Structure 1
Amino acid sequence: MKKKNILTFLSLLFTLSAFAQYQISGTVTNKDNGEGLPGANISLKETGIVVVSGENGFFSVNDLKPGTYTVKADYIGFVSWEKKVTVHTDVQLDMQLEPRVFLAEEVIITATKAHEKTPLTFTNLDEDQINRENTGKDLPYLLSSSPSTVVTSDAGTGVGYTGIRIRGTDLTGINVTLNGVPVNDAESQNVFFVDLPDLASSADEIQIQRGVGTSSNGAASFGASINIKTDKFMPHVYLELNNAAGSFGTIKNTMKFGSGLIKGKFSIDGRLSFLNSKGFVDRATARMKSMYLASAFYGKKDVVKLIYLHGTEKTYQAWYGIPKDSLETNRTYNPAGSIYDTGGNLLGYYDNQIDNYEQTYLQLHYAHQFSDRTNLITTVFYTKGKGYYENYKNHKKFSDYGMNDTVIGGDTITRISLIEQKWLDNDFYGINMYLNYDAGNLRLNFGAGWNQYLGDHYGKVIWAQIARYGDYDREWYSGTGNKMDMNIFAKANYAFNKHISLFADIQLRAIHYKIGGTDDNLKDVTQQHTYTFFNPKAGVFYQVNKQHKLYFSAAVAHREPNRSVFLDADPGQEVKQERLIDYELGYGLQTTLFSLDANLFYMDYKNQLVLTGKINNVGAPIMTNVSDSYRAGIEMVAGFSLFKIVDWNLNATFSQNKISDFTEYVDNWNYWDDPENEPYQYEKNLGRTDISFSPDWVAGSNLGVTPFKGFTVALVTSYVGRQYIDNTSNSERSLDPYLVNNLRFFYKIHVKHMRSLEFLLSLNNIFNEQYETNAWVYRYVYDGTEGELNGYFPQAGFNFMAGINLKF
């Protein structure tokens, strides 16, 4: 009986152990200095499980059955670590990787990136943060939780044409780079993320610098910069199938793949994406696709990486907004493509009122390491863009298109309805070079860049009501843009000791810009402009102790006017360059459970270009230099970690954004009836006013709860204060404050023969807030009564996106 009990006990013990699940955890560190290696790949060969080390190199592999596993750690620039481990209880491993002479591709963006002790204000987003947010919306929406950030969407869904403002500065003042290559359009200075659909799926790291930031290439950093680095090196073969679907017919399909390291030297990575949405606003459809391919060679002292990125978009226009008086009755109304008869009656909408554009990026990066301290990076790039937007035009004058009036049955016809296409065909190419030196306490970066932009702007009439003008494509204007931009810079970070570091950065930028041909109003726009800018920056960083830090910096930036400013200016009107001096004073606190970053900023503008209501001699609005304006405020970012279950991240910005002395102009429509009815415009000095689209308050909260391993639910809240849509500080012409709450679910599990299986669910605007994020207004006076035309951009109420990611 006793033996039987023992056998029963042993059998039960064996059965329990068979069902027991254990954990392998530990750290991946640099053998030479003991520093943790975040981003290392840890794999278990027998299972196909691959995990990535996190902060300080920590990793864990959970839910393992008893047995023997081959554990391997890979990190670029280090010799692989491998060991067989028998698991019958939890196992702790300390993986010390030995550095090898192997140049990491991360050096490609070293020169333009702000580092830990750079005395500037910046936020980093890593691959994990990007992936959790990426359910199909455009890149600006993935950045919307960063401080002082406001995003907008023409279609109301975050898909298609989207925009972002940081500290009130829109994308024309934000320097955007992709692997150090300029993304801003050279002429408009704008960035159209719609042309690069699902770029987030190829982003490994994004750094947002608020204020002037470090010297970079391309358009001026006139308020912020966004530096995007694409996919990092993956040592193993991988395949990802990421799919999402949700409200408004939104569907996103993405496939990512990679060869891993081939023969220890080569790799190939790629991505295919398809994204479609019907939009919240009527007919605001978006059909987009993109491709990313990268091939790399890794040598002992060299890295060569060729990147191909192609995107196409076909979106129905939703950029006119809707009249203010329709917000309560018909929030989805879209006037784009309206077809009217001669009596002004609406007949319907033109089906092909679309924006159709494609863009291709080619980048060749070469990095050479001269020594452990010195490397040289060379990037050659070419960007090709071509496309058009198509408009149905009601009852336009023949003369507007350079055509003569026609006579039918003895009647002279002066107006005609037609379909036009406005084309842009451009080439952008250049070279960047960086020499980097890092001796620990001294980091030096020397850089130079040259780029050339060639653009053709032309319009076609592709159909007209009268057959005489409808049988062929008729070009009615043709203009050119030729812009050369070059810069050189030098940066230095010097640590006197473990507490004090000094930073200095000087940049010389030269621009030559030629415009030729005619514009769409048939005006000759031939002109040229030359600028030379000197942009110094300096700062000090003080590490008080392990928990506290302080920094101060001052930085100068200049910006040249863009193409539309030059074209809209009256002959002889002087348009001045803009200047910004940015002062930043920051404090940081870091403890085990709590972190706080706070900074004061003062951005002093000279000759900032703003809309005043003033028009040129043909009635088009023009940008006007205002002598003095500023943005001043405080930004705060806090984080709490409780019981390893709750993570709460908050940010808030309070600011004042003012024009010191503003004069408004309002059109007198009676003047157009009879020039004797002067004045041409009514003029009024308003003194000190608020800068448009610059809310005093912006705040965000991300409250995440992880009740068990792999599962997180987060309540994401955004608050944006009142935004004036012109510079008159009139609340009648403003966007109301809004508070939007999103609920996000993320569940990651490890499945045999897979790296992971991820489920995502995003419930957006859960309280169905009705709000608008953008608008425009045009004011006039007629017969003594003031009126206005306007367009507001309403955002979707409650909506959702659900996704599943299969990672092999």
Structure 2
Amino acid sequence: MKKILIQILLLQLFISFAFTQGKIKGYVFDSETRKPLPNANVYVENLALGSATDQKGYFEINNVPAGRINVVASFIGYAKQKKIVELAPQAEINLVFYLEPTVLPSQTVVVTALIASEKESPVVFSNLEKQQIKDFYTTQDVPILLSELPSVLSYSWSGNGIGYNYLNLRGFDQRRISVLVNGIPQNDPEDHGVYWLDMPDLLASAGKIQIQRGAGSAFYGPPAIGGSVNIITSNFSIEPKISLFTGYGSYNTKKHSIAINSGLIENRYSLYARLSYIATDGYREKSWAKFPSYFLSAIRYDDNMTTQIHLYGGPFEDHLVYRGIPKSWVKDKSKRRANLNYMDVTTRDDEIENFSQPHYELLHELKLSDNLILNNTLFYIRGVGFWDMDASWADTVYFRLSSPYALKYGFTTPSRNPGEAIARYFIDLNQYGWLPRLMLKHGKGELTLGAELRKHTGFHWGKIVWAQNLPEGLPSDYRFYEYKGAKDIFSFYLYELFKFRPDLRLMLGLQFVYNRYKVYNEKEFYDYNSGKWISNEFSVPFRFLNSKIGISYDLTQNINVYGSFSITSREPSRRDLYDASDGYWYPWGKKPNFEVKPDGSFDFTKPLVKPERLFDIEFGGGYFSDSYKFIANFYYMDFRDELVKSGQLNIFGDPIVGNAERTRHIGVELVAEIKDLLIEGFEIGGNATISRNKIVKHGVYVWKNPYTGERYSTPQRIALDGKRIAGFPDYMGSLRISYRKGGLLISILGKYVGDFYTDNFNLVPSNNVGGIDRKVDSYKVFDLTVGYRFDKILGLNNFELKIQINNLFNALYAGSGVGDEFYPGAERNYFVGVGFEL
């Protein structure tokens, strides 16, 4: 009887247990090729349950206990993917995994430490994945490719996206965006600019790009105001291969490249090398550019250690194009391609630029234990080159040829100005850096401790290359200015992502920043007021404590809400303090931005331009699933002493900025993505930004009233309270519609940018007597991409033909402007490329 009772009890338990179990099934695919991954491992976390996929990528796991469970898919050479599901008793759940290729373990640390993830990080971000980069990149620079992401605006000096290109995020220019490549800061330490042409064809070796919007979104580099851009290179593959690409397009644009990948050697080594050449005549007159480039990588895997080396760059040459056209020419096909110089005459043939900036990177990861990882990045960036500019406007005083200099340096005092002239501006830059980072995984989350140590030095000088009238005896190497600039950078940060529960996470970030500018060894110049020979030398330190706190909460499996608050400060650029190459000795030159002592000298302990300070509040939420994504984000950015454009340019075409006492930026960002809606392979994604960017309190002193034309005997203050801030559109948006079927891709992208002003007076013909128009009109641009890929044809693997037609409907527009100068976008243009593997 006992045996019968026990058997009945066991049977009841078995039946009860069986009826509380369910099934999980689905597929695992490669995220790039969308091909199935056979023999991938799919398992339930913390349970001895799992399955391998078949040749179609299909898996099935039976007898899974009901409840909230984590399902993980993994495959060698790919990043793991986890899905959290609620399994009801006797239910079946279908899952589809798209795994991202990666054979670089060290990148997992880069990604964990710097890259935000959906429903985990309370950060506003957007990604461009490797396949998207591969689909839509041909020759255009990084800002142009990123322009379809939320709140991103880009424009090109040459008009066709090759050469000098600029990125705005929420209206903030790239001097206030922290740009990183493999976690290494790319903003110039002295002027904070980003020169994308120093990294030609970088996108050909990029595996992922993430833009994080809002303040404090980068651990190091220049403090992020508008946000951060992090480019992760990913070059390695499991199998050896040789990839070739060639293409041709409008304005004699051409590209040729070859990439060699060794594959994984002895499960320990991998090598990668790419050589590229991009050249174009440019859309605007005399805007040609030639960009040879290289990217070399090597990696070694050890049991608990990974070491990776990168070397990339390219010595380029181009013709200068840095001035905009009058607004009245923007719609005029016969004039809009003009390339004007400083004096509004045709640019000379000998206004050229030569520059090279090789990047040397060492990325090292040491796994000290299962929960403790040490990552070190060492880098060296060397930049050397010059640009030759027309300087026919300059006189003997600017070139330091007047009598005091003639007497000092032993040449004849000139009797007339140089006349037609070309001046060479030379720079020699060196930057060293060490970025250590320690990541500790603990029971409730992850703690990251890190530091940034960088040292930058720059040697700057200018000389006359040629002039109509030069004084006798002038040395051939005579330099009319010369100085050295330097910057010491140190920061320490800690970052904690704390999980109270699986659905509730807290983010805490704290960063201490110390930056010190130096100018020294400046060539003496003659001060006509005091009758003395002087030079400027100073050292100015800045110290900041930046903080960020955020919270992320999963309302349901698919719905996440978040909020964050940041306090971020940023120092002005060294050029904002003193631009020694802009001609301080010259009557119209830019004086040092420091208080003046009673004796007329400068007090270099008291800069007049102040650091900007930002309080940023962000909150929003989203709905996430395999087929749908909807996100809404609200931001409120309150500034003290924001550095805003004055509407003027220096002699090199760069905007001159100054502090506004108080400004405010408020906006809403909306994002939607839908995949496989009704038709498999049909995708639609779009975004929109609505913002209001106002000066709360600010005024400038002018000699002439910009509205009435009245001239003053002494400078008068013009209040700008309530004006829109120059460079910030109130409306932006983009929409991409794509269809993929087999090897076919058809995609059309539409972008809209609302109007914005080019100075803070908000001048339009209706509000000033001179009829001045300083507003970039709103515009719409559409780009079409069509491609087809054959897995194998004529003995070639992954043969792909790609056609891009940009500005499909031939809109005549200006992408941006400063003051009275507007930068036109290219008319309808095309590029056709062919790529394949051996």
- TM-score, length-scaled by structure 1: 0.82
| Distance (Å, rounded) in 2 between the aligned partners of 1:400 and 1:412 | 15
Indicate the residue corresponding to 1:53 in structure 2. none
**1:740 aligned residue (781, 795, 803):** 781
**2:482 aligned residue (469, 478, 481):** 478
Indicate the residue corresponding to 1:202 in structure 2. 205
Contact 1:197 1:312 in 2 (8 A): no
Q: CA deviation at 1:610?
A: 1.8
Give yes or no for the alignment of 1:495 onto 2:499.
yes
1:122-174 deviation line (CA, Å, top 9, x unaligned): 11211101111111101111111100011100010001110010100111000
1:395-430 deviation line (CA, Å, top 9, x unaligned): 531121111369999993244332210011110001
Indicate the residue corresponding to 2:429 in structure 1. 426
| Distance (Å, rounded) in 2 between the aligned partners of 1:505 and 1:431 | 20
Give yes or no for the alignment of 1:376 onto 2:410.
no
Indicate the residue corresponding to 2:609 in structure 1. 575
Contact 2:636 2:664 in 1 (8 A): yes
| Distance (Å, rounded) in 1 between the aligned partners of 2:413 and 2:474 | 21
| Distance (Å, rounded) in 2 between the aligned partners of 1:369 and 1:135 | 38
Give yes or no for the alignment of 1:323 onto 2:326.
yes
**1:334 aligned residue (332, 339, 344):** 339
**1:565 aligned residue (565, 576, 587):** 576
Give yes or no for the alignment of 1:553 onto 2:564.
yes
Indicate the residue corresponding to 2:824 in structure 1. 794
1:594-628 deviation line (CA, Å, top 9, x unaligned): 32011001111111112346999xxx995322121
Q: Structure 1 unaligned segments of length 5 or more: list them.
A: 1-22, 45-55, 60-72, 79-92, 340-345, 671-676, 778-789
CA RMSD of aligned residues (A): 3.4
Give yes or no for the alignment of 1:625 onto 2:623.
no
Indicate the residue corresponding to 1:784 in structure 2. none
**1:713 aligned residue (746, 766, 770):** 746
Indicate the residue corresponding to 2:763 in structure 1. 730
Contact 1:760 1:804 in 2 (8 A): yes
**Corresponding residue SS for 1:200:** helix
Do the aligned partners of residues 565 and 262 (structure 1) sit closer, same or farther apart at CA in structure 2, a change above 3 Å counting? Answer: same
Aligned partner of 1:724: which letter?
Y
Give yes or no for the alignment of 1:286 onto 2:289.
yes
Q: CA deviation at 1:482?
A: 1.3
Aligned partner of 1:371: which letter?
S
| Distance (Å, rounded) in 1 between the aligned partners of 2:54 and 2:241 | 14
| Distance (Å, rounded) in 2 between the aligned partners of 1:511 and 1:300 | 38
**Corresponding residue SS for 2:251:** helix
1:361-392 deviation line (CA, Å, top 9, x unaligned): 10111100112222100111100001111012
Give yes or no for the alignment of 1:386 onto 2:384.
yes
Indicate the residue corresponding to 1:244 in structure 2. 247
Identity over aligned pairs, percent:
28
| Distance (Å, rounded) in 1 between the aligned partners of 2:575 and 2:412 | 42
Do the aligned partners of residues 681 and 238 (structure 1) sit closer, same or farther apart at CA in structure 2, a change above 3 Å counting? Answer: farther
Indicate the residue corresponding to 1:9 in structure 2. none
- Aligned pairs for 1:36-185 (under 5 A) are 74-75=76-77, 103-116=105-118, 117-185=120-188
Give yes or no for the alignment of 1:354 onto 2:352.
yes
Indicate the residue corresponding to 2:809 in structure 1. 767
- Aligned pairs for 1:255-266 (under 5 A) are 255-266=258-269
| Distance (Å, rounded) in 2 between the aligned partners of 1:535 and 1:172 | 18
Indicate the residue corresponding to 1:657 in structure 2. 693
Indicate the residue corresponding to 1:537 in structure 2. 548
Q: CA deviation at 1:306?
A: 1.0
1:313-368 deviation line (CA, Å, top 9, x unaligned): 211111111123333251111123989xxxxxx7x752220122110110111100
Do the aligned partners of residues 374 and 143 (structure 1) sit closer, same or farther apart at CA in structure 2, a change above 3 Å counting? Answer: same
Q: CA deviation at 1:301?
A: 0.4
Contact 2:276 2:292 in 1 (8 A): yes
Contact 2:524 2:535 in 1 (8 A): no
Per mean C-alpha deviation after superposition, the further-off stretch among 436-445 and 120-129 is 436-445
Aligned partner of 2:431: which letter?
F
Indicate the residue corresponding to 2:581 in structure 1. none
Q: Structure 2 unaligned segments of length 5 or more: list them.
A: 1-34, 57-70, 81-94, 527-533, 579-589, 596-606, 765-772
Do the aligned partners of residues 474 and 713 (structure 1) sit closer, same or farther apart at CA in structure 2, a change above 3 Å counting? Answer: same
- TM-score, length-scaled by structure 2: 0.80
**1:750 aligned residue (791, 798, 811):** 791
| Distance (Å, rounded) in 2 between the aligned partners of 1:387 and 1:215 | 30
**1:690 aligned residue (721, 724, 728):** 724
Do the aligned partners of residues 614 and 648 (structure 1) sit closer, same or farther apart at CA in structure 2, a change above 3 Å counting? Answer: closer
Q: CA deviation at 1:440?
A: 6.7
**2:619 aligned residue (559, 576, 585):** 585
Contact 1:113 1:214 in 2 (8 A): no
Contact 1:599 1:636 in 2 (8 A): yes
1:287-323 deviation line (CA, Å, top 9, x unaligned): 1111110111101100011111122221111111112
| Distance (Å, rounded) in 1 between the aligned partners of 2:328 and 2:212 | 39
* Residue-pair matches, total: 713
| Distance (Å, rounded) in 2 between the aligned partners of 1:685 and 1:504 | 39
Contact 1:27 1:58 in 2 (8 A): no
